[in-house]
Each structure stands twice: as C-alpha cells, then as structure tokens.
Chains A and B, each alone.
Chain A
Amino acid sequence: MSAPYPEKLRQLEELFALMPDRGDRLDLLISTAERFREVPPEIARRPFPEDRKVPACESEAYLWARRRDDGTLKFYFAVENPQGISAKAMAVILDDALSGAPLEAVAAVPDDVIYKFFGNELSMGKSMGLMGMVAMARSSARRALAGA
C-alpha cells in the first residue's frame, strides 16, 4: 500500500497548478516568501548548529523539527542568505504543508515535489538546495517514526 500524501501539500500543488503563467507563479512564490518567519529563539539561536544546515543549499537554510503533542512534527526554518527568496518560499510551503501532517506522509514526500511549485526552470544547484530541504524534512519524519 502506498503511503498517504499530505493533504495540505496536495492543496498547495493544486493552487500552483492553476497558474500556468510563469510570471503569475513567480509572483505567488514571492508573496509566499514574504510570509517567511525565522525560527523563534526558544527553538534555536545563532550560531545555528551545522547539523541543522540543509546540505547542498547555498542559501544557507536550516531546518528544525519539534514533536507536537499529537505526535506530528512542527517545522522551523532559518535562511541566512538575504537573497534566498526561493529557499524562504520553500520553507513556508513545507511548514504550511508538512507541519501537523501524518509522519508516514511526510516521510514519503518525493524530492521532485519542488517542481510542482517552481517549474522545471531551476538550476541544478537551486534544485539540489530545495530538494535538500525536502529531504531533511523527510528524514526528520523518518527518525520520528523510528522513535529516535
């Protein structure tokens, strides 16, 4: 049986799919990035630990996951590159879509989900960085499922 898919992620994908025009999609991503809120100090303070840094992300994104009472995860992010707008947009999307989602569903989110939001015109470096954010969220869910 295939893993469940996060419902909020599916809804966001449908929203972006309604925007075939590249400019409209970019504008939506920019407005999404503008909702970015950095990890609160009660979760992490600078200097952020290296083990929370997203590998391959050149915007210096960091990710934290905290267990909630219902067993799901709440995700927090920092993006140190002030020009890392795409990383901020991806952070907002992942928080909106995966915080509170069933761990099994988060653990199965594929890397290439980034293209549902950004389209295919991403550099390899940018793709790797954004996929790295997805992978780190996925790893957090897998560790939580394993009881780590």
Chain B
Amino acid sequence: MTAISQRGYANPGVLVSTDWVAAHLNDPDLRIVESNEDPLVYRAGHLPGAVEVDWARDLNDPVRRDYLDRAGFEGLMRRIGVENDTTVVFYGDKNNWWACYAFWVFQLFGHRRAKVMDGGRLKWEQEGRELTREVPSYPPSSYRAPDRDDSTIRAFRDRVLAHVEAGGDLVDVRSPQEFSGELLHMPDYPNEGALRGGHIPGARSVPWGRAVNEDGTFKSAAELRAIYEQEQGLSPEREVIAYCRIGERSSHTWFVLTHLLGYPKVRNYDGSWTEWGNLVGVPIEKGR
C-alpha cells in the first residue's frame, strides 16, 4: 500500500501507520485508544498500552439517546489519563468503523489532537505485531472540556428534513439491502429497529466499507473521489449529511469526506435510520 503521505489526502496527518504506532507505543504524549463493535475483542488482546473506549458504556448517555455531556467526557478523559495536549490515536475492529465513531464523538468536544491508525486492528494483527491482555492503568488527568458542540458536524432530524426538502446531498452508508428496504422484510430474522424500510429521499447509496482496501487501509484520495464525486456526484462545495442505522458507520464516511477528501461541511446524522424509519410523516423512498 502507498505511504499515507503519497495518497493525496487533504489532511494526511490525521492518519498514522502501524509502523508509526509501533514506534510510539511508549510515547508519553500519546494515548492509544481501541474502540470496537465486538465487546470481546479488546479483552482478547490489544496493542500494548492501549486503553478501551466502549461505545455503549463510555460514549453514550446511559439513559437518554444522546452522547455523554461535558462532565461525562471530562470524566472519561481523566480516567484514561488523557490531558488536553495528549494526542489520541484511535484504532479498532471492522476497518476502524468504531474507531472513527469515537473519533467523531471526541470532535464534538473539540479534542483536535486525534488520529486514526490506518488499517486498524486487522492490519496490526496481519502484520504479526504484539498484542497483550494486560490492561494498562494511567494516572488520572486534569482534562478540561468545553460543552459539547452539536452545531457543526452533527445533524438532527429537523435539519435533515430541511436538507431533503432543499435537495441537499445525503449519503446512506448502510448495506444495499438496508438501503432498498428489503432487509426489513426477511422472514424469521430480526429487523433493524425501524418500523419502515428504505432510505431518505435523494440519498446516494455508498456502503461505508467501499472506502477501505482489503487490508483495512483507506483508499487513496483519487480512488475515494472516483466513488464519491465521479460516481455519486458529491462535491466539497455543498453540504453533505451522512447517515446509517445509528450513526456509527456514517461517522466512518464523515471521517473520509472531512479529513481525507477535505470536505468542509459534512454532518453525521446519528439519529439515522432508527430515528427516520420510525418518524411519523417523513418521506421515505424504497428500492435501489
């Protein structure tokens, strides 16, 4: 795979290679954070020194459907020993799907010193690098966070509805079966948490995984532009809203469009299909 610096990304510094991480495992100014979908993966073995940030226990409000507030974020950062000037390197399973989700939530609190390890766990494992079951402990930090900023990279349903009515660009990053609505109609299998199947009118179907190579690394900027711009007609000149089922997969696409292609106005609709597909009266399209 081509070096990160040669892939034409708008913000190449947001990605680090497995080589780079291996050379910085003991860097005191760095905190390596693993974030996975599968709750067993971290405990079964992780990068030496890496802490776990769990999407359910650490990033979500335990009662309301929302993310943690300022106090909760400060508590999390203090617990994992992250100071305001600590660089956080995220990685995880599923081609960094949940790592990008955690990255996005951290941006709601303005923690700009954040990077993603290209290739995630998969590449680290395939390279035969060290994994450990030893859970590290760091001295609590004195992290101070601002209030969560939902105004720039997050979309709520009213904004999405206005965006649809204005003919704005939307990217649906779920599977083609979810996009078409057919998944909800498979007998004997669980539904996806929504009463209606289909997609938000006008949305382009670009499953999130198309942005990565087989080894889990991100595709080059030229390859990504071929997908999102030449094929789907998106443009950095226009605002884009990405969504999936609950906003995790779409945070991966948010990361790609924002940091790898340099789109200045991308929002993640974390209400996503579990909200839209249950809302009364909103427009829905079915089919491919």
Check if A73 is an interface residue, CB within 8 A of chain B. no
The answer to whether B39 touches A82 (Cβ under 8 A) is no
Point out the residue from A23, A30, A33, A83 that lies within 8 Å of B93, measured CB to CB.
A83
Closest-CB distance, A21 to chain B (whole angstroms): 12
Which of A35-43, A63-71, A98-106, A122-130 lies on the face that meets chain B?
A122-130
Say which size band chain B's interface belongs to: 20 to 34
Scan residues 107-134 of chain B and give those whose CB is less than 8 A from a CB of chain A.
121-122, 125
Say which size band chain A's interface belongs to: 20 to 34
In the complex with contacts A30-B44, A33-B40, A124-B193, A83-B122 CB distance below 8 A: yes
In the complex with contacts A27-B43, A56-B190, A123-B248, A86-B38 CB distance below 8 A: yes
The answer to whether A29 touches B56 (Cβ under 8 A) is no
Which of A6-14, A44-52, A131-139 lies on the face that meets chain B?
A131-139
The answer to whether A85 touches B41 (Cβ under 8 A) is yes
A29 — which chain B residues lie within 8 A by C-beta? 40
In the complex with contacts A111-B190, A131-B190, A132-B190, A125-B37 CB distance below 8 A: yes
A33 — which chain B residues lie within 8 A by C-beta? 40, 44
The answer to whether B125 touches A86 (Cβ under 8 A) is no
In the assembled complex, the Cα of A119 lies from the Cα of B24 at a distance in Å of 35
In the complex with contacts A83-B122, A132-B190, A26-B248 CB distance below 8 A: no
In the assembled complex, the Cα of A30 lies from the Cα of B131 at a distance in Å of 15
The answer to whether B41 touches A83 (Cβ under 8 A) is yes
Closest-CB distance, B237 to chain A (whole angstroms): 33
Check if B158 is an interface residue, CB within 8 A of chain A. no
In the assembled complex, the Cα of A50 lies from the Cα of B288 at a distance in Å of 21
Scan residues 73-93 of chain A and give those whose CB is less than 8 A from a CB of chain B.
82-86, 89
Check if B21 is an interface residue, CB within 8 A of chain A. no
In the assembled complex, the Cα of A23 lies from the Cα of B121 at a distance in Å of 21
Q: Using an 8 Å CB-CB cutoff, how does the interface string of B90-111 with A read, 1 for contact, 0 for none?
A: 0001100000000000000000
CB nearest to A125 among chain B residues:
B37
Which of B161-169, B181-189, B228-236, B251-259 lies on the face that meets chain A?
B181-189
A132 — which chain B residues lie within 8 A by C-beta? 189-190
In the complex with contacts A30-B44, A56-B183, A83-B121, A122-B188 CB distance below 8 A: no
Point out the residue from B41, B43, B192 that lies within 8 Å of A124, measured CB to CB.
B192
A82 — which chain B residues lie within 8 A by C-beta? 122, 125
In the complex with contacts A128-B190, A132-B189, A83-B38 CB distance below 8 A: yes
A111 — which chain B residues lie within 8 A by C-beta? 190
- Which among B183, B188, B246 has the greatest number of chain A C-beta atoms within 10 A? B188
Check if B270 is an interface residue, CB within 8 A of chain A. no
The answer to whether B183 touches A118 (Cβ under 8 A) is no
B44 — which chain A residues lie within 8 A by C-beta? 30, 33, 85
A82-B125, A123-B246 given. 8 additional CB < 8 A pairs?
Answer: A26-B40, A30-B44, A56-B190, A86-B38, A86-B40, A118-B39, A121-B56, A135-B188
A-B contact pairs, 19 of them (CB 8 A): A26-B39, A26-B43, A56-B192, A58-B94, A59-B38, A85-B44, A86-B40, A118-B39, A121-B56, A123-B56, A124-B193, A124-B245, A125-B37, A125-B245, A127-B190, A128-B190, A131-B189, A132-B189, A138-B188
Closest 3 CB pairs of A and B: A85-B40, A131-B190, A121-B56
